[in-house]
Amino acid sequence: MTDTLAASTRIAPELVELRRRLHRIPELGLHLPDTQAVVLEALSGIDVEVSTGESLSSVVAVLRGRAPVAGERPVVLLRGDMDALPVTEEVDVDYVSQRPGLMHACGHDLHVAGLVGAARILDELRDELVGDVVLMFQPGEEGPGGAEPMIAEGLLEAAGRRVDAAYAVHVYAADHPCGVWFGRPGTLMAAADEVHVVVRGSGGHGAAPERTKDPVPVACEIVLAYQTAVTRQFSVWDPVVLTVGKVAAGTKDNIIPDVAHVEATLRTFSKEHRAKAHEVVAQVADHVAQAHGLTAEVTISRGYPVTVNDVDEFAFARGVVTDLFGSQRWADMVNPEAGSEDMSFVLDEVPGCYLNISACVHADPAVADDNHSARAAFDDSVVPDVAAALAEMALRRSRQLAGR
């Protein structure tokens, strides 16, 4: 057994208890004072340099290794997100959420406990740690996004040198049998943006459309032109999903309105197609409107970027997991997911890897309720494994970076 696994086994009961304590007190968004207090308390016995966020209730802890380093000290970042969801829990456990309407339905309570566990393991193995580890406890993953403000507040320089590599793990309530790790190199998750089009014409009587500039047929034409643009302008091997979920105009059958609204979600799987899709949605709306003598104003609210696993970092992280737990506990993901994740902001800045592990409580993962469901249940026996894997990644990667 590796040192990290032996250490995680020893602290397993405390990590599970910590997870259950967090599970009872879910909080939403960027401000998680109760969760932050629990994290600070859990770290209080460890020699780490702690700083808390200014614009959000994040916690950044720097743990410094004691192994001698010849050159520059490597810096590895480990991340755990802390926020919950607006869901009323229906899971029958004695540590059920004490806050109606709020639930850790995406398992971020396991992430926090796993990251605290990694800190405790690294503290114990500090003499073997070459360089420094930045522990990133992040609010707001489920929105509006905590990673970006943490980066703005200096996250990547927290150790005094820029982070060299970054890792994160997410738990899943379904998909695979409990304890199976899964991931893929390259694109892992989509970028998700919102498109809002306002078609401006000038309204009037429904009986005399020639005396108006009717935005309704123009909005309809834009919706159809979008679908054509997706299939004609983008390679099928780098997919683009553009779904118009809302069209709104008018008040009554015989009144032509002044404006019509079109709202769409745009999912892309590469930086290139994301940038191109932003141009295309604006151009198509503008030109269709112009063709009829109207105007279209396009606003894009940028969501999270594409989440990309660096190919080498993925191979490294997968190697750590299969060394620790055996290749029977690994599954390759064939396709990326169309969801999105704000660890993407960190992975845009530094190479790294984001892996998943199943914490499914059912013998048959196909019938289990998925993350975000009121019935999503997570087996916290995986928390010590998450802790061991993160600690092992930090130990090994910093040794590699230091050239040993």
**Residue 173 CB, nearest approach to Zn ion (Å):** 10
Angstrom distances, CA of residue 77 to CA of 131, 317, 373? 11, 13, 30
**Residue 204 CB, nearest approach to Zn ion (Å):** 49
> Do residues 284 and 229 lie in contact, with contact meaning Cβ atoms separated by under 8 Å?
yes
**Residue 111 CB, nearest approach to Zn ion (Å):** 8
Q: Which range binds Zn ion by CB under 5 A, 38-46, 99-107, 228-236, 311-319? A: 99-107
List the helix and strand counts (H, then E) for the chain.
9, 16
Beta carbon nearer to Zn ion, 106 or 402: 106
Beta carbon nearer to Zn ion, 106 or 150: 106
**Residue 170 CB, nearest approach to Zn ion (Å):** 6
Q: Which range binds Zn ion by CB under 5 A, 9-17, 100-108, 258-266, 300-308? A: 100-108
> Do residues 159 and 62 lie in contact, with contact meaning Cβ atoms separated by under 8 Å?
yes
**Residue 49 CB, nearest approach to Zn ion (Å):** 27
DSSP per-residue codes, 337-400: BS---THHHHHHHS-EEEEEEE-B-SSSGGGSPPTTSTT--B-GGGHHHHHHHHHHHHHHHHHH
**Residue 142 CB, nearest approach to Zn ion (Å):** 7
Beta carbon nearer to Zn ion, 84 or 296: 84
**Residue 247 CB, nearest approach to Zn ion (Å):** 31
Closest CA to 191 of 274, 349, 305: 305
Beta carbon nearer to Zn ion, 87 or 106: 106
For residues 102 to 121, the per-residue mask of contacts with Zn ion, x marking binding by CB under 5 A and - elsewhere, is ----x---------------
User: How many CB atoms sit inside 10 A of residue 271's CB?
Assistant: 14
Q: Which residue is nearest to Zn ion (CB)?
A: 106
Quote the CA–CA distance of 319 and 83 in Å, as a whole number: 29
Beta carbon nearer to Zn ion, 12 or 106: 106
Alpha-carbon dihedral sign for residues 107, 113, 116, 118: negative
For residues 55 to 94, the per-residue mask of contacts with Zn ion, x marking binding by CB under 5 A and - elsewhere, is ----------------------------------------
Quote the CA–CA distance of 203 and 368 in Å, as a whole number: 52
**Residue 319 CB, nearest approach to Zn ion (Å):** 25
Q: 206: which DSSP letter?
A: T
∠ CA 50-115-79, nearest 5°, is 80
Quote the CA–CA distance of 132 and 67 in Å, as a whole number: 10
Q: Which of residues 207-236 bind Zn ion (CB under 5 A)?
A: none
Count of residues engaged in binding Zn ion, rule: CB under 5 A = 1
Beta carbon nearer to Zn ion, 268 or 371: 371
Beta carbon nearer to Zn ion, 304 or 314: 304
Q: What is the helix (H) or strand (E) element at residue 243, kind and residue range?
A: strand 240-249
**Which spans of this chain sit near Zn ion (rule: CB under 5 A)?**
106
